[in-house]
Amino acid sequence: MAEAMYDYVIVGAGSAGCVLAARLSEDPDVSVLLLEAGPPDVNDNIHVPLGYLKLTGTEVDWGYSTAPEPHCNGRRITLPRGRVLGGSSSVNAMVYIRGNRRDYDDWGVSGWAWDDLFPYFLKAEDNERGASDWHAVGGPLPVSDQRSGNKITPAFVEAGVEAGLARNEDFNGAEQDGVGMYQVTQRGGMRASAAVAYLHPAMERPNLTVMPYMHVDRILFDGTRAVGVEASQLGQAQELRAQREVILCGGAYNSPKLLMLSGVGPAEHLTMREVEVLLDQPAVGENLSDHTAAYSVWTTPEPESLLLALEPAALEEFTATQTGPFASNLAESGGFARVGDGAEAPDVQIHVAPIQIVDEGTKDPEAHGVWVSPCLLTPSSRGSVRLASKDPTAKPIIRNAFYEDGADMTQMVDALRLVEEICAQPAFKPYCAERFTAPGGESDDDFRAHAAATTYEIYHPVGTCAIGSVVDADLRVNGLEALRVVDASVMPTVPRGNTNAPTIAIAERASDLIRGNPAPDGAAA
């Protein structure tokens, strides 16, 4: 079996893995190996923003789905995740949201409060609006305004104002509440994934090795010290050794899966799967949460939706100026609102896409339309990730347990009613001419049935290797040596907003922890 030695072995080239590979390899005296199960990010549909709609179910998608969800009519809900350089930042909707100060302060973990992370959001950022108290320029991650020119999504903003919500020009500024257009991780109308922003500029370094198509099967240990990984590439097994650390960046599904395959997890479960127990750690794979989301769809006679991408003029426009439908991130506008009694911060986020979604996106649009999706920012229900078998290629068993806590369904009904109110306002009514996917009536039961039929997870899974239970405040796996987890799985709870920017900030801070660097300047605003 082939064997090679590096200082750091990073498992997973997603948002966190790309950041770590770039930052750790800044030191020419260390060698860094980055492993990715999927291919290089060469598919054009990754880089043309609207193209990501064609990526689900392809070789760049892990192709996961939930176990049957009891409170969602027993449906198996699709869970697309990036399996490619850039990970899910190569297949996501590119929305740039940091979350709310309260999210991080409520974690109650030293070093991970808002004041600790805010400088790392700034360190990462290159915002085309320029530097301010809330934003920075010169970082690796481009943040840009929308370039699609669609009329439907700005109209939703006007309707939200008509419904009494605040207009918000910057969800990452002083206040999160209100409606507005989302900023996106794009540069010049092209996707700026973590691979584009961080990894590609670093790949010429002689001390950084990137291996795509490398499926990691398990972590190798000497006693309780991680010393490398066993992986397979094109059917050939290899041992890749880490002199300093193994760092898991597989995300909220794959990091706990790999820990369990390596004997770290709930002992009874591992024994049932015929995995030899190295460390009984019941919290691995528990505490899964995501932003529970549902949606409604309307059709419109106005020829304004992203169906215009089918017209030759749209491709001509994008080729010439990188604007128009192909520059759309789909979820162009939306907002943050409070529907719960006494909510101390937004508890609902809305995403609006100018397109008719048919059968959860499994069928082509039939007409021009609009999709409006509220999600719960602070869900109480918790799910889990478990092994299906000890076969490393088997997909994990993922249970979100949506609405297991009935308070979540009550909140979703309130969120869907807020969507109805906004979409009935004069500014948006022209685009909501006919209901296509909507509650069957006005009662709470009608809304609950609609939620059960349309609920999906909005691709923000966190919590399965949480700080304080699975890892310590330095992201080291408790009870083991030379092993860290750095990805969204370490977040104890899901922040109020899209999780890509927080994952990048966590990885930025983790790279300083690993290297022993001081935090960057940047007092929290």
Q: How far from 282 is each of 54, 119, 246, 270, CA to CA, in Å?
A: 38, 34, 21, 10
Report yes or no: 15 and 220 within 8 Å, Cβ to Cβ.
no
DSSP 407: H
Tell me how crowded residue 337 is: count the other CB atoms within 10 A of its CB: 27
What is the four-CA torsion angle of 120, 126, 131, 132, rounded to 10 degrees? Answer: -50
What whole-number distance in Å separates Cα of residue 377 and Cα of residue 344? 12
What whole-number distance in Å separates Cα of residue 85 and Cα of residue 492? 26
71 counts as catalytic: no
What whole-number distance in Å separates Cα of residue 422 and Cα of residue 438? 14
Q: Kind and range of the H or E element at 152?
A: helix 152-162
Report yes or no: 397 and 385 within 8 Å, Cβ to Cβ.
yes
Instruction: Kindly give, in sequence order, each residue whose CB lies less than 8 Å from that of residue 254, ignoring residues fewer than 6 positions away.
Output: 12, 62, 81, 396
What whole-number distance in Å separates Cα of residue 173 and Cα of residue 134? 6
Q: How far from 30 is each of 4, 23, 231, CA to CA, in Å?
A: 14, 11, 22
Residue pointed to by tokens 């999906």: 456
Angle at 149 between CA 133 and CA 299, to 5 degrees: 120
- Please give the full DSSP string across 314-331, using - where no structure is assigned: HHHHHHHHS-SGGG--S-
* Residue among 135, 200, 291, 460 flagged as catalytic: 460
What whole-number distance in Å separates Cα of residue 442 and Cα of residue 266? 45
Q: Is the dihedral of CA 64, 67, 69, 72 positive or negative?
A: positive
- Please give the full DSSP string across 5-30, using - where no structure is assigned: EEEEEEE--SHHHHHHHHHHTTSTTS
What whole-number distance in Å separates Cα of residue 35 and Cα of residue 215? 8
Enumerate the active-site residues. 460
